[in-house]
Structure 1
Amino acid sequence: MDDPIEIELKLEYDPTDRDRLIACVLLAASGRPSRRLRATYFDTPDFKLDKAGYALRIRTDRDKHIQTVKAASSQAAGLFVRGEWEREVGDDKPVLDEKAGPLSQIFDAATLARISPLFTTDIERISGLIDHPGGSQIEYAIDSGEVRAGARHSRLSEIELELKQGSAEALFDLARSLNQQVPLRLGVQSKSERGYALARNRIATAVKAAPVVLERNMSAPAAFAAIAASCIRQYRLNEELLLRSGGAEAVHQARVALRRLRSAFWLFKPLLQGDDRAAMFAAELRWLAGQLGDIRDIDVLLPRLTGAQRSSLVAMREDRLNQACRQLADARVRMLPIDLAQWLSTGTWRTAPVDPALGERDITSFASDRLDRLRKRIKRDGRGLAGLHDEQRHELRKDAKKLRYAVEFFVALYPGRKPRRRMERFLDRLEALQDKLGELNDRAGEPALFARLGIDIAIPPLGKKQRRRLLDDAEECFEALIDCKRFWRD
């Protein structure tokens, strides 16, 4: 089993609720006077530090200037025993000598000379300690302020909770107690990440799935937690954009994140045996993805329509979007990522597994077995693809999507030129099969979709030759995938 982990929880709140949140916390806490924390983050104009996995800042706290170098990614942190280097400096200019961590070892003098201010944070913080019943102690920090990069700026309102001693349950109990007074959402961005998003002008851009950082000797439970956390992060970033703008790509990527998370639940199903909450979470994720799916169906159709039909569908989308936003504001949905975060840390599947041996198994062998199982399932169910019913081909398409997500989850486990070449070839053939199955599924499902949306479009059926060609192409893609070498067994 994994060693106990230090638990911190970041929650976001509406700026108008700040006074209420402070009042809730101070009722149960010993607090300190508010502090003004200003920080300047530094990098080169082409973001060399960030790309290497480091953040450099100088924070002004009263009359002190504290310089901090952080290893901002696990990849960077893995190179050194320490992941943070802090020192007091004389003013707001970085001192990049040998005491400033690894920067002077990683970058040459010309690069260090190009480091300059990139963005700033200006935060008012109220912090203190809460003694929770049962002996647990939690440190809190309520932050309110903004992040600014040039002319661009972003409001920041968050509370960070850190368990100093006692049970992790106390931390999440406190989060739920606060949520009853002030609506809260799980926070997934650091201040530096917010600043870099502003500096790169990506504050209103939908977020695609980021690579999951896994290590070959990592346990299967730790890998599942990392994969699930990555999916939750992608969902939350796109949920925020969806709530602000309602854009089609934000809806799409939020739904992709939920599908990826559901696929992770399926992949790691052997680990989750005996944990009743696993099935509950899977059902909630399926329901939520369905709510966004209705909007996504409209977004896909809109470019094909004109005139009154398009106007009618635009109005329908607006209504569905408003309904979805109301659902996202409901405590049931707001608390789902928070509940998942707790379950990933302290759920029965992790603390009292039905099969302890699985909890000790390394992720590399576990991943290979699960990839084998999914590939065999596709090989079995795809035989005679042209003669399958539409629903059977739809199920095959869903399994192909699961396999693609699985490969993307496990990319880091198969380094080296040869496995990567085989992986890329495998993914190319898998995506080709998905495309053909997707086209067949769309043609089969369009009449029912149009009827459900009240759209009157006469769709000419596929001709025999056209349908035969599409089925032959799908079978060819299927055979090419099955013939492709399994990179995970190299």
Structure 2
Amino acid sequence: MERELKLQVLQGEAWETVLSHPLVDLATVAPRPMHALYFDTSDRRLQRAGIAYRLRREGEQWVATLKFAGAAGGGLHQRPEWNVAVAEPQADLGVFSDPELTEILRPYRDLPLTVVLETVFERRERRLTEVGGEQWLLAADRGEIRVKEEVLPILELELELVTGTVASLLERGAALCEALPLCPESQSKFQRGIALQLAQLPTSSVQTRQEIQTPKLHGREDAADALRGILIGEIQESLTALRVDTRDGSRTSFHDLRRAVRQLRALLRFCKPLEVDAGLKKPRQELATWFHQQSGRRDRDALLDHWQSHAPEFQLAPGLLTEALLKSDTETPSSAGTLAATLLRLWAQLEGATALSGRLSLREFAEQQLAQMDRKLRRAHIDAVSAEDRAEFHRLRIQIKNFRYVLQRLAGLWPAKDSKGMMKLLGHLQESSGLIRDAQMSASHLQPLGHEAPSELALHAGVLWGYLVARMQREEKKFRKSWNRFLEASRPWD
């Protein structure tokens, strides 16, 4: 079983710095040329079966490799792998002699195979050994993925576990991300190449929708074990969202990243009674610090979304105010590596069996904790007029989000009771409170622009401010109606 952590280098100009860093130390290692050919049938039979078949030249030797789908998430790849040295780069599944593997490959042995993509890169590699005996292979790859006339760059580190635990692998990856511009990558070279290949095919010839299977919850399962697995899944989702945001950098990808991190934080807080010691306190604080550092960008992006959506309604061009808002906010320094390091270290801690512990079943624990969160919500003060009330209302908004995120993840514990109504009410409350929040914070961003020349900018800032204040008044009424319905709604755990 291959276990490796893939880390993308985020800045091409930093390649030499990455190689020279003491944690990598590959600058003086001679690179080995690698040329890999990936084979499949014209209708992608191997890919659909979760099989990757590769012939790769490693120096002077050709090696045939089979990899099965396994599991990949948050940059950690765990999958079965078989390697056989061969004389030439001819597609032949018969070179794999393992009896079990031979049986799996039987339906594909006589099918015509062609090259679907290739990778050409240089690899520098060395073995790392810790005092405790853990060993890894560290490789630095630079080159490209080729699919017909299209190419994708390869610029990554791979950290493969030789001996030791997955937790030690994650800890090492965290140290690398903290020191260098790196981010975990959940797609292999092959998967990135296939994505590029599918983009070239007509939509009708590819499967464009992927079903995501949510693990089934078992109420009698030990709460600590079940929630440990749920938290690791949330960490992997956050790391995936982080990688997407490093590539995209859009308001949408940033919003998705913040939401993923908030969901993780909500579930961490929910699991706090199960913590054995204070080991998870530091990553919780680091996630909170990162999250609050992004508040300025979140507020600015919300204003940009409102303005660009509604400026045409007022027959105004959005460009002037858009440019002013982009200039008015001090950009938060890039913190992808810091966030990745925190997530990987938290994951490493959860891989240990002692991070969470308890005697309750998942259902018992969930019902107790949700009832407690529910009681706290019911006692909340919902006014949003004065400065003091606004601060309390903002805290209520966060409570509503956390409650919704946790309930959304655990709703499957009560299959006989419909939780859709409760989730819909919480969604309405979250949406209305978010719009109220947008109006509350808008003054600090828009008032300074209203006093600046040219006067056209002041007009646009005033229009947006007026629109948000008027909408806030409507949303406050909606919020109160939804809140009263929420208080009266049945709870699936009752």
In the superposition, the TM-score normalised over structure 1's length comes to: 0.71
Contact 1:42 1:57 survives alignment (8 Å): yes
1:28 Cα offset (Å): 8.3
1:396 Cα offset (Å): 3.0
Amino acid paired to 2:243: R
2:101 alignment partner in structure 1 = 99
The yes-or-no answer on 1:229 pairing with 2:236 is yes
Amino acid paired to 2:262: R
1:34 to 23, 32, 35: 32
- SS for the counterpart of 1:456 is helix
Relative to structure 1, is the Cα distance of residues 382 and 319 closer, same or farther in structure 2, using a 3 angstrom cutoff?
A: closer
1:479 Cα offset (Å): 4.3
2:260 alignment partner in structure 1 = 257
1:249 Cα offset (Å): 1.8
Alignment of 1:182-261 (within 5 A): 183-201=181-199, 213=215, 216=218, 217=221, 218-242=225-249, 247-261=250-264
- SS for the counterpart of 1:146 is strand
1:341 Cα offset (Å): 0.6
- SS for the counterpart of 1:162 is strand
1:283 to 263, 282, 288: 288
- SS for the counterpart of 2:462 is coil
- SS for the counterpart of 1:381 is coil
Q: Partners of 2:230 and 2:164 in 1: how far apart?
A: 25
Amino acid paired to 2:466: I
Q: Partners of 2:247 and 2:468 in 1: how far apart?
A: 41
Q: Cα deviations across residues 131-152 of structure 1 (Å, max 9, x unaligned)?
A: 3445443221222222334444
Amino acid paired to 2:298: G
Relative to structure 1, is the Cα distance of residues 224 and 173 closer, same or farther in structure 2, using a 3 angstrom cutoff?
A: closer
1:274 alignment partner in structure 2 = 278
Q: Partners of 1:260 and 1:298 in 2: how far apart?
A: 23
2:397 alignment partner in structure 1 = 397
2:369 alignment partner in structure 1 = 370
Q: Cα deviations across residues 403-461 of structure 1 (Å, max 9, x unaligned)?
A: 232244346x5496x56xx2444333322332333344444544444226653336279
Relative to structure 1, is the Cα distance of residues 240 and 309 closer, same or farther in structure 2, using a 3 angstrom cutoff?
A: closer
The yes-or-no answer on 1:313 pairing with 2:322 is yes
The yes-or-no answer on 1:335 pairing with 2:338 is yes
2:446 alignment partner in structure 1 = 450
Q: Cα deviations across residues 18-42 of structure 1 (Å, max 9, x unaligned)?
A: 4454455785899786141414164
Please, which runs of 5 or more residues in structure 1 have no aligned partner? Answer: 76-81, 203-209
Contact 1:41 1:118 survives alignment (8 Å): yes
Relative to structure 1, is the Cα distance of residues 213 and 201 closer, same or farther in structure 2, using a 3 angstrom cutoff?
A: farther
Q: Partners of 1:439 and 1:20 in 2: how far apart?
A: 44
Amino acid paired to 1:222: G
- SS for the counterpart of 2:135 is strand
1:241 Cα offset (Å): 1.7
Alignment of 1:35-54 (within 5 A): 35-40=33-38, 42=40, 54=50
1:70 Cα offset (Å): 1.1
2:55 to 41, 53, 59: 59
* Deviates most, 82-91 or 370-379: 82-91
Relative to structure 1, is the Cα distance of residues 72 and 157 closer, same or farther in structure 2, using a 3 angstrom cutoff?
A: same
Contact 1:188 1:237 survives alignment (8 Å): no
1:118 Cα offset (Å): 4.8
Amino acid paired to 2:57: D
Contact 1:141 1:160 survives alignment (8 Å): yes
Q: Partners of 2:402 and 2:101 in 1: how far apart?
A: 47
1:345 to 330, 343, 348: 348
RMSD: 4.8
Amino acid paired to 1:267: F
Contact 1:224 1:268 survives alignment (8 Å): no
Relative to structure 1, is the Cα distance of residues 408 and 58 closer, same or farther in structure 2, using a 3 angstrom cutoff?
A: farther
Q: Partners of 2:139 and 2:287 in 1: how far apart?
A: 33
Q: Partners of 1:263 and 1:160 in 2: how far apart?
A: 31
Contact 2:170 2:348 survives alignment (8 Å): no
Q: Partners of 1:11 and 1:189 in 2: how far apart?
A: 10
1:78 alignment partner in structure 2 = none
Amino acid paired to 2:90: D
Q: Partners of 1:257 and 1:114 in 2: how far apart?
A: 43
1:474 alignment partner in structure 2 = 479
Q: Partners of 2:375 and 2:404 in 1: how far apart?
A: 14
1:277 Cα offset (Å): 1.0
Contact 1:30 1:128 survives alignment (8 Å): no
Contact 1:127 1:141 survives alignment (8 Å): yes
Q: Partners of 1:6 and 1:485 in 2: how far apart?
A: 48
Q: Partners of 2:113 and 2:375 in 1: how far apart?
A: 52
- SS for the counterpart of 1:340 is helix
Please, which runs of 5 or more residues in structure 2 have no aligned partner? Answer: 201-211, 451-460
1:205 alignment partner in structure 2 = none
Relative to structure 1, is the Cα distance of residues 237 and 41 closer, same or farther in structure 2, using a 3 angstrom cutoff?
A: farther
Contact 1:234 1:254 survives alignment (8 Å): yes
Contact 2:26 2:126 survives alignment (8 Å): no
Contact 1:137 1:165 survives alignment (8 Å): yes
- SS for the counterpart of 1:219 is helix
Aligned positions, number: 445
Amino acid paired to 2:380: D
Amino acid paired to 1:274: A
1:11 alignment partner in structure 2 = 7
1:51 Cα offset (Å): 7.2
